[in-house]
Amino acid sequence: MLAKRIIPCLDIKDGRTVKGVNFEGLRDAGDPVELAKRYSDEGADELVFLDITATKEKRKTLVELVKKIALKIDIPFTVGGGISSVEQIGDLLHAGADKVSLNSAIVRNPELINKASQQFGAQCIVAAVDAKQTGDQWNVYISGGSIDTGKDALEWIKEAEERGAGEILLTSMDKDGTKSGYDLDLLNAVNSFLTIPVIASGGAGTKNHCIEAVKKGSADAVLAASIFHFQKIEIDELKRSMENEGIAVRHAVNNN
């Protein structure tokens, strides 16, 4: 049975992880490769690396980092943050990323989804959408949540799917950082028409929130950062709780 995926998200700045990651046993908690390996060993099903580096020169560091991650990590990983051209997508995929996540650039230039999907395949194009409730709809925000585009998020997600996105990474800005649970209404609204997988993001605070996102919101995967970084919810422990609720999860082979 197809397992629901647990996806830790790592923020990267200038080639290092940011946020106060505090794992025991890591020589260097800021090293994305080491942290990624740790998550992978603990049973993460996929990883997302979000680059928040601002300058173009420093983005070369990202490609080098992706090469290092790809050499060490044997589960799929997505790279996102500031990607705006087919050329950049190609560089990251050739460096070993399995998928790229596109956000502001595809809102400004929706044709980029078609081009990237045709060239590299829909399976590696993740459309990331930051949605915030505005009146009786959800609006699409870009530039790290700083600009309200006025676009209806549900219509935009439908368009992204039609243009060739292979997956939707859906972040609720209302819930992000609140630790009060994923936005189940938003997830349900999106899942009512979507035929590609959706990754729920924003709001995870407890194991139960992840269970709800899957059982009540029909999420195909749940993404979280802080519950793994700060609150020390073990991935395997989360998976056991999900399994007890009847959700199919993958337990990593332990042949050490």
Partner 1 sequence: MMIAIINYEAGNLASVSNALKRLNEPHIITNNPDELNDSDGIIFPGVGHAEPAMASLKKNSLDQWLKKTNKPVLGICLGMQLLYESSEEGDSEGLGIIPGRLRKFDSSKEKVPHMGWNTFTDVDDSHPLVSSFNTSEYFYYVHSYFAPVNKYTLASCCYIQDFTAVVSKDNYMGAQFHPEKSGKAGALLLQNFLSYVHSGSE
Which residues make up the interface to partner 1 (CB under 8 A)? 1-5, 40, 45, 70-72, 74-76, 94-96, 98, 120-124, 166-167, 194-197, 220-221, 250-255
Cβ neighbours of 153 (radius 10 Å): 25
Whether 103 contacts 144, CB under 8 Å:
no
- Residue 234: what residue type? E
- Residue 223 beta carbon to partner 1: minimum distance, rounded to whole angstroms: 13
Three-state secondary structure call for residue 191: helix
Establish whether 91 is a catalytic residue.
no
Question: What is the C-alpha separation between 19 and 120, in angstroms, rounded?
Answer: 32
- Residue 197 beta carbon to partner 1: minimum distance, rounded to whole angstroms: 5
Nearer to partner 1, 47 or 142 (CB): 47
Burial group, residue 41, by CB count within 10 angstroms (0-12, 13-18, 19+): middle
Cα–Cα separations (whole angstroms), residue 182 to 7, 18, 49, 61: 14, 23, 20, 33
Establish whether 98 is a catalytic residue.
no
Question: What is the C-alpha separation between 206 and 113, in angstroms, rounded?
Answer: 34
Nearer to partner 1, 158 or 179 (CB): 158
Query: Which residue is catalytic, options 31, 45, 130, 183?
Result: 130
Nearer to partner 1, 29 or 97 (CB): 97
Question: What is the C-alpha separation between 89 and 95, in angstroms, rounded?
Answer: 10
Nearer to partner 1, 32 or 205 (CB): 32
- Residue 2 beta carbon to partner 1: minimum distance, rounded to whole angstroms: 5
- Residue 77 beta carbon to partner 1: minimum distance, rounded to whole angstroms: 9
| Active-site residue set | 11, 130
